[in-house]
Amino acid sequence: MNLSKHIFAGALLLLLSSAAVIAEDTTDKTLVFDVFLDGKKIGYHRFEIDGPRSNAAVRSEASFDVKFLFVTAFSYRHTATESWSNGCLDEIEARTDSNGNKLNVSGERTDSGFVIDTGDVEAELPSCVMTFAYWNPGFLEQPRLLNPQTGEYLEVEVQELGRDTVRLEGREVPARSVRVTARQMDITLWYSENSEWLALESVAKGGRIIRYELS
């Protein structure tokens, strides 16, 4: 059962490197998202954000286990640290173990651009790049985003879905809904009226649903 390519193709962009939108004068924020697969909880994704969003230091940790007949069929572990300056990524270090497939990504901004290194490939990107930083609404304005899990610099499309509600802990919360698509990725995000990231859903191959809910 190869779940690493399909089940987590969308949301683990890390999903992989982000948190909720925070006010510019916020200095510390810790957020924990419960992660579900087809309605069953499989783990968590924790974010620690220090500083205002344009100059934040972000640390994240994800841990998922998918069981089949009481046996772990898929495990996923991810850690990442990011530092930001003036809304641009300065540095990133990300480590991922996707069911035994280990990925390491590092990058830093230089005088000429942003250099990303996956161990197999080194590439120079534009000097101001952003990851799929759900905690910073500025990422929705970018035509391309860095996948911190793989080091790919992906073209993306963003579609405003308008006013909506999202169900959290048994209650309906008014929200703004946004869809983000990229290669093999289809993600819907919900933000509160004050731009706090509340939830995420990704449709995987076979119609399976990965969902994040703010705990």
Domain residue extents for the chain: 3-154
Confidence of residue 13 (pLDDT cuts 50, 70, 90): very low
Beta partners for residue 72, in sequence order: 67
Mean pLDDT across 24-34: 72
Check if the beta carbon of residue 146 is closer than 8 Å to that of residue 16.
no
What is the pTM for the complete model shown? 0.82
- Residue 100's φ and ψ, nearest 5 degrees, are 95, -15
The span from the CA of 126 to the CA of 110, in Å, is 10
Measuring CA to CA, which residue among 89, 105, 201 is closest to residue 142? 89
Inter-CA distances, 100 with 20, 59, 75, 97, 151, Å: 29, 22, 8, 6, 18
Task: Give the model confidence (pLDDT) of 56-66 as tens digits.
Answer: 999 999 999 99
